[in-house]
Amino acid sequence: MYLELKVTSINLVEDLETGQPQFIGIYIEDCGWDEWKILSRTVKKQLVSEGFDDVAGRVALVCKQALRTRRS
């Protein structure tokens, strides 16, 4: 399956109190709930399969359009 998505920004999200890195936020435009679910599982599975288990839990994919709509 192939999804054509537009990544609008990638940010390092830090803890407000300590200033320590919490996770990497990847913000995606025009991505609904269905795409978000597929994308989330696929990216995590790929990171784990390539030996990046520790990173897999520290990446947040944020689909902006999904946050603006009700989940069906």
The string over 39-60, giving b where at least 16 C-beta atoms fall within 10 Å of a residue's C-beta and e elsewhere, is beeeebeebeeeeeeeebeebe
Q: pLDDT (tens digit, 9 = 90+) per residue, 34-65? A: 888 888 899 899 999 999 988 888 999 999 88
Average pLDDT value for residue range 14-42 = 91
Check residue 31 and give its pLDDT: 86
- Say if pTM beats, i.e. exceeds, 0.85: no
Check residue 69 and give its pLDDT: 80
Q: Cα 3 from chain centroid?
A: 14
The set of residues, in sequence order, having a beta carbon less than 8 Å from that of 26 and lying 6+ positions away, is 7, 9, 10, 59, 60, 61, 62
